[in-house]
Chains A and B, each alone.
Chain A
Amino acid sequence: MFNKLKETIGEENMSQNEADKAAYSSDASRIRGKADTIIWPKTLEDVRQAISYAKRHNLNVVPRGAGTGLAGGAVPQDSIVLDMCRMDRFAVQKDRAIVEPGVILDNLNSESDYILPVIPGSHAVCTIGGMIATNAAGMRAFKYGKMADWIDELHVIDGTGKMIKVQGEKINHFCGWEGSTGIVVRARLKLIKLPTLRTMTVLRFDSITPMVERLKGLDTSHVSALEYVDKYCSNLIGLGDMNHLIVEYESEEGEIKDEKELKKIWEKRDSLYAIISAKGYTVAEDPQVPLEHIDKLLYWLQKNDIPTFGHIGIGVIHPHFKKDTSQRLVEEMFTVVKKINGSVTGEHGVGLLKKPYLEDAYKKKIKELKETYDPSNVLNRGKII
C-alpha cells in the first residue's frame, strides 16, 4: 500500500515491523495505542508527502517529538506516526533561533549564551516541536511564561498538505493544539541572554494555610521559578517531612548561592515524576487554578492523599493518581478545579487523558480550527475531541 510513499520518502525512513510498532505504541503517559506505520521524515517535503498520502487514503497521522508527553498526545490510534526527531537542524543568531521540530531543548540551549527560557522537567530530551504542540510551560513559567510567548514565526503543514507561514495571533492556532491543526516543520524563536546570577531559597511549611499566605505575600520582582513539593514528594526526594516552596531568584536575594547546590535541588525536582510513577502513581494531571483559591485544591488533594508537586507560581500543579482509583478521584478533583474557575490542563495538553473533562469553550475552539486547517481530520485523529 505504501509503495508510492516509500519511493518518495525512502524505504529506510519508513517501517511497519513489529518491533518498531511496539516501541512507538505509547509515550510517557503509558497509555497503549497502536501504530500502523512509522515514518522518520528528514525534510518538510517528506512531512507534506506523508500528510497528503494519509489524506488521500483516509489514514491519520500522529506527530511525535521525544514521546515525553503525559496526556497521551502522541499515542497512535491505528496511525501513521511521524517521528520528527531526524529533523533536528538549527541555527542561532544572537537572540533568535531558526529550528526544526526535532531539535532537543538542551542542545539548543547549550549552543550559545542565548537560551530559550521555557524549561520543562524533560529539558534534557524534549523537542521544540513537542513543546510547541503542548504550549509547554515548565519550571520558570512564573517569569518567562509559556512556549507561545517565545515564537516569532511558524511554518506548518496543515491537514490538507499545504504549507502555511504564521506570525502574531495566528501562532495560537497551532501552538498548544497537539499537532491536530498542523505539524510544525520550522520555527523562529526568541531567545534571551543566559542569566548569570541565580540563587534559591527553600521554604518549609508544616501546613498549607501558612504556605499559601506566604506565597501570596512574597516579593516576586526577581523570582524566576516558584515550585511546590508536598510532604509525600518531599520525603521521596530527601527534602524532609514538610511542604516545600522552592523559590529561585535571578538576583542575590536567595539564601543558597552555590550553583552546584542549586543544580542538585533542580535535579531532584526533575526526577520527581519518574519516582512517583514508580510508586504506582502513574496518572499525572496538570490542572491550572487561580492563586487566590489554590488552597482549596491543595486541601482537597491532601485530604485524599494525592501526591502533588508543580509550578505553583502560575497555579499549575501536578497531582498524581494510582491507575486503579484514578477515575473517581480525578472526576472529583476536576469538580473542585471548575468550582474555583480553574482549567483541566495547564501544560500537558488534552491528548487522550483529559478528553472526558474538557470545557465546552475549548471543544468549540478546536472544532473551528479543525474545520479551517484539517477538515478531513487527518492530523492526530481522536485526540482532544
Chain B
Amino acid sequence: MDDSFKCTECGLCRNACPVYKALKRETVGPRGKVMLLKEEIKDEIFYACTLCRNCTVACPLKLELDKDFRKYRAKLQEAGKTTEASKVMIENVRKYGNPFGKIEEGKKPKELFCC
C-alpha cells in the first residue's frame, strides 16, 4: 500500500474518478479510499473502483492508487468480504467465460452492478 501512504490528500483526483462523479460521495473517491486504508477500515467500498487510473492522471504526484485498491480487494476476498454481485460475476466467468452469464444469441447482456 505504498502509494496510498504517500497521498497528500489534496483531493485533486476527485473529479477525475468516474465512480465519484456518479455517486458524489467522498468515500468512494480515491482520496476517501486512501483515508480508509490509513485508518485500516475494511469495507466493501474498495470494489467500487473501475481501475481506470484516471486518479493517477489527475494526481500531481502520479500515485498509482489503483494498484493499492486492487491489492486490498484481494485481502477482502481472502477475508470473505465480497459483494453478492462479485460472487455472481465470478461464478458466471467460471461457467460461461462472461461476467454477464449466459447470453442467448442476439440478446444483450443485462445490466449488472458491482456496488
Listed in ascending order, the chain A residues whose CB lies under 8 Å from chain B are 18-20, 22-28, 30, 40, 66-68, 83, 85-86, 88, 102, 104, 106, 122, 124-125, 270-275, 277-278, 282
Contacts and interface: CB of A to CB of B under 8 A. Distances in A.
B39 interface: yes
15 contacts: A19-B27, A23-B33, A25-B35, A26-B35, A28-B9, A40-B25, A66-B14, A83-B24, A83-B26, A122-B10, A271-B60, A273-B10, A274-B59, A274-B60, A275-B61
Contact of B12 (A86, A102, A122, A282): A122
B36 interface: yes
B27 A30 contact: no
A282 B33 CA distance: 20
Nearest to B58: A124
B35 A85 contact: no
Given A18-B43, A124-B15, A278 B61 contact: yes
A67 B58 contact: no
A274 B16 CA distance: 16
Contacts of B11: 27-28, 66-68, 122, 125
A274 B61 contact: yes
A24 B26 CA distance: 7
Contacts of B16: 124
Contacts of B33: 23
B23 to A, nearest CB: 9
Contacts of B31: 23, 67
A273 B8 CA distance: 9
A203 B58 CA distance: 28
Most B-side CB within 10 Å, residue of A19, A28, A66, A86 = A19
Q: How large is the interface on B (under 10, 10 to 19, 20 to 34, 35 or more residues)?
A: 20 to 34
A290 to B, nearest CB: 30
B88 interface: no
Nearest to B8: A277
A270 B14 contact: no
Contact of A68 (B10, B24, B59): B10
Given A124-B58, A275-B61, A278-B61, A19 B45 contact: yes
Contacts of B8: 28, 30, 273-274, 277-278, 282
Contact of A125 (B12, B39, B43): B12
Task: Pick the 7 closest A-B CB pairs, nearest first.
Answer: A271-B60, A274-B60, A23-B32, A277-B8, A23-B27, A19-B43, A274-B10
Most A-side CB within 10 Å, residue of B6, B9, B16, B45 = B9
B94 to A, nearest CB: 30
Contact of A23 (B6, B12, B24, B35): B35
A273 B43 CA distance: 30
Given A18-B41, A124-B15, A274-B60, A23 B10 contact: no
Contacts of B12: 68, 122, 124-125, 270, 274
Interface in B38-73: 39, 41, 43, 45, 58-61
Contacts of A125: 11-12, 14-15
A85 B24 contact: yes
Given A23-B32, A28-B8, A83-B24, 17 more contacts: A19-B27, A19-B36, A19-B41, A20-B25, A23-B35, A85-B24, A86-B24, A88-B24, A104-B15, A106-B15, A122-B10, A270-B60, A271-B60, A274-B8, A274-B59, A275-B60, A278-B8
